[in-house]
Amino acid sequence: MMSTKVLIADDSETILLLLRTRLEMEGYEVVTATDGVEVVEAVGREAESAPDVLLLDAMMPRKSGIDALRELRAAGVDTPALIVSAHQDETDAGAPTDLDIGGYVTKPIDFDLLFSSITRLTES
């Protein structure tokens, strides 16, 4: 069985390292991006082996996770996505309802919750 491929995007290398380590320990395949522009590029480039789940930080330089997701959805990409935000405020206020966001993950990350969210999104 092919392992689930997760695209993680965060502007902090340390957070990326943490996420990659934990996700790989759980058996996921991981690709990374450091901003929204790279996210859009990565999803396009990996057309044949596209990620199964997107894990996007809400606030990133150049292009935020929300904006990247908006662009992908407009291009017809329906990959399930989780938004990581520093706190609920970012998502409470102007949470876009039209982007089919699969859930929110707040920092510091509760990994048990993250893994169960990914499982929920990939199994459905």
Partner 1 sequence: MANRLTIGFAIAFAVLTGLAVIGVGRFLQQRQDFEDAVARSYQTEIAARTRFAQGEDRAAAREAILAQEQRRQSLRDDIDDETRDTALLVGAGLIAGLTGAALLFSGLIASMRRPLEELVEASQRLASGDLDARVKVGGLSETATLGSAFNEMASELQRRAGERDQLDRMKDEFVLTASHELRSPLTSVQGFAELLMLEREKLSTKQAETVEVILDNTRHLVRLLNDLLDLARSDAGRLVIKPVPTELAPLVDDAVRTMRSQTEARQQSLSQEVETGLPLVEVDRDRIRQVLVNLLTNAHEYSPQGASIGVTAVLRGAEVEISVSDDGPGMPEDQLEHIFDRFTRGDAGLTQHVGGTGLGLAISKSLVELHGGTIAAEAVLGQGSTFRVRLPAGATGDPVTEPARTEASR
Which chain residues interact with partner 1 by CB under 8 A? 12, 14-15, 18, 21-22, 25, 59, 86-87, 89, 92, 107-109, 111
Work out how close the CB of 52 gets to partner 1 at its nearest, in angstroms, rounded to a whole number.
Answer: 22
Nearer to partner 1, 78 or 89 (CB): 89
Work out how close the CB of 100 gets to partner 1 at its nearest, in angstroms, rounded to a whole number.
Answer: 22
Work out how close the CB of 46 gets to partner 1 at its nearest, in angstroms, rounded to a whole number.
Answer: 26
Beta strands in 34-95 (DSSP E): 53-57, 81-85
Q: Is 51 exposed, middle or buried (0-12, 13-18, 19+ CB in 10 A)?
A: buried
Provide the token pair at 10.
């965060």
Work out how close the CB of 32 gets to partner 1 at its nearest, in angstroms, rounded to a whole number.
Answer: 15
Name the residue among 107, 122, 118, 113 with its Cα closest to residue 10.
107
Nearer to partner 1, 15 or 77 (CB): 15
Nearer to partner 1, 18 or 50 (CB): 18
Three-state DSSP class for 10? coil
Residues forming a β-bridge with 53? 6
Cα separation, 111 vs 61, whole angstroms: 25
Nearer to partner 1, 16 or 43 (CB): 16
